[in-house]
Structure 1
Amino acid sequence: MLSSTKSERVRRIASLARKKERRAHGRFLVEGPQAVRELLVHRPDLVETVYTTLGSESWQVEVDRLASDAGVRLERATDDVIAAMSETVSPQGVVAVARSWKGSAAEAAAGARLVAILHEIRDPGNAGTVLRAADAAGADAVIFAGESIDPFHPKVVRSTTGSLFHLPVAVAPTLRDAVDAVRDAGLTAFAADVRGSDVLEARAAGELDGAVAWIFGNEARGLSEAERALADRSVRLPIYGAAESLNLATAASVLLYETAFAQRSR
């Protein structure tokens, strides 16, 4: 039973809440039973250690079994230790340390028909929600471009509720790198932008039927003229009511599903 909140191991694990430490150690935190379950089921190769309290929670038996089946190291820890390791305010009794990866945009886009590119997305909740929506819509990959938030940020990992482990996730140094990768893979790049044409026009013209990559820009300023110019086409969601706009995650979810519908109704 790991019981000291001041141990070097606990401090090292807690430090993974910081990007600098995640990069230095090549590790990241996965918190909560749902995310840890998905990690153990879909990417057990990434797991270094799972730490859990010794309680009677409903998830305990399943997490223990999954860790055992995967040959993953499982350790017990006190509630205080789990809290000290966790980034969240209300830890749920289980934390995993996993190895991060460095998949390239080209690898992620190879053979894909639907890709989401997140360019300079800064809010972890937005990033995680878009990744989760991409997974739900059947997308083949998500690429974080430019100065977007780290996909291994604890809040991003939590907000994906496990989708981070379901599909390829890559990081591209610049938006141009991401667009070049998807275009080389045969996808058409669409910029989601309020100055673009109506998405229903694009769908009616059959433009969403093929392999598509959506570019979603920064929450506050969207995409610049130069960034939009990298895309093959700019497309917007129409606003039929009195709302000024849709937030990033909502708009991305609708556009990803519009494309999934179009691709499946050919």
Structure 2
Amino acid sequence: MLENPRSPRVRAVAKLSKRSARAETGLYLLEGPQAAREALSYVPDTVVELFATPTAMEKHTDIRDAARSADVDLQFTTEDVLAAMADTVTPQGIVAVARQAPTALKDVFAAGPRLVAICEEVRDPGNLGTIIRAADAAGADAVILTGRTVDPYNPKVVRATTGSLFHLPVTVGVELTAVVERAHEAGLRVVAADVDGSDFLASRELLAEATAWLFGNEARGLDETALAHADLALRLPIYGRAESLNLATAASVCLYETAFAQRASS
């Protein structure tokens, strides 16, 4: 059992909350039973090691069994050691280390996607995690993150996806120009979500076709250069008194509306 919160092994795991350590090692941190369970179920070959308190393993025997089936090393720790590893203030007794496994851009479009979410300069971890979760729920084929978007392996992003990070392809660190070029080659229309766009309802029927939604920064939206890459810009109507919609909420609506349209036409 690991008992020393200051040991080199514990410190190495804790450092994965920092982007520099993730970039250097190619690893990232998973916290809590939900993340560990989903990773072991969908991408077990990426899980490097699992740390847990005895109490947590007694409660989550399915995770213990999944780790054994995947031949993942399970190391018991004290509560203090687990707390030292975790990024959260109140960890849930389980931490895992996994290898980053982004999907190449060419592979996303080679699969013939019908619905894709592109995130250009999305900076808030909670928003990005929620967009990935919404894309998964709406049946999207992939989420593509441009180089200026927050790291999807940030612990806060991973937690916000509630496991969806392991359910669909996620591409990272690509330039918007390259993404749009690939999308057009694959027959997708690039639609920007923009407050100055055309009325969403007037162009709703277009969403039945293969669509790549383009979402921008929380505060500034999409700049003129990014908007110039889009084939169409649409805005969601505001019927009440709200000044605007949160980015993740707006993205969820756009993705679901597209999913509805595509399924209705199939």
Task: Give the structure-1-normalised TM-score.
Answer: 0.96
Distance 1:258 1:58 in 2: 42
Provide the residue aligned with 2:71 in structure 1: 71
Match of 1:241 in 2: 240
Q: 64-73 or 136-145: which moved more?
A: 64-73
CA contact (8 A) 2:56 2:93 kept: no
Cα distance, 1:11–1:237 mapped onto 2, change above 3 Å: same
User: TM-score, structure 2 length as denominator?
Assistant: 0.96
Q: Secondary structure at the match of 1:207?
A: helix
- 1:177 to partner: Cα distance: 1.9
Counterparts of 2:184 and 2:81, CA distance in 1: 47
Amino acid at match of 1:260: A
Residue 36 of structure 2 aligns to which amino acid in structure 1?
V
In structure 1, what is the Cα distance between the partners aligned to 2:247 and 2:211?
Answer: 18
The structural deviation recorded for 1:103 is 2.3
- Select between 212-221 and 56-65 the one with higher mean Cα deviation: 56-65
Relative to structure 2, which stretch is displaced further, 106-115 or 33-42?
Answer: 106-115
The match for 1:106 is 106
SS class of match (1:143): strand
Q: Distance in 1 between matches of 2:187 and 2:76?
A: 48
For 2:228, the equivalent position in structure 1 comes to 229
Partner Cα separation in structure 2 for residue 22 and residue 244 of structure 1: 37
| 1:16 alignment partner AA | L
Cα deviation, residue 57, structure 1: 6.5
**Is 1:130–2:145 an aligned residue pair?**
no
CA offsets 1:86-128 (integer angstroms, 9 cap, x no match): 1111100000000012422222233111100111011000000
- Aligned equivalents of 2:44, 2:223: Cα separation in 1: 40
What residue ranges of structure 2 are gaps of 5+ in the alignment? Answer: none
CA RMSD of aligned residues (A): 1.2
> Which has the larger share of helix?
2
Q: Which residue of 1 aligns with 2:249?
A: 250
Letter matched to residue 116 of structure 1: A
Residue 180 (structure 1) aligns with: 181
- Distance in 1 (CA, whole Å) between partners of 2:57 and 2:251 is 35
Structure-to-structure mapping, 1:144-155, within 5 angstroms: 144-155=145-156
Q: Is the CA contact (8 Å cut-off) linking 1:172 and 1:178 kept in structure 2?
A: no
Is residue 145–residue 174 contact of structure 1 (8 Å, CA) maintained in 2?
Answer: yes
- Measure the CA separation in 1 of the matches of 2:109 and 2:87: 32
1:15-46 CA distances to partner (integer Å, 9 max, x unpaired)?
Answer: 01111110100100010101110000000010
The offset of 1:80, in angstroms, is 0.7
The aligned amino acid for 1:97 is V
More divergent stretch after superposition (103-112 vs 28-37) = 103-112
| Cα drift, residue 250 of structure 1 | 0.5
How big is the shift at 1:146? Answer: 2.8
Kept after mapping to 2: 8 A contact 1:109/1:141: no
Does the CA contact (< 8 Å) of 2:102 and 2:169 recur in 1? no
Q: Percent identity?
A: 55
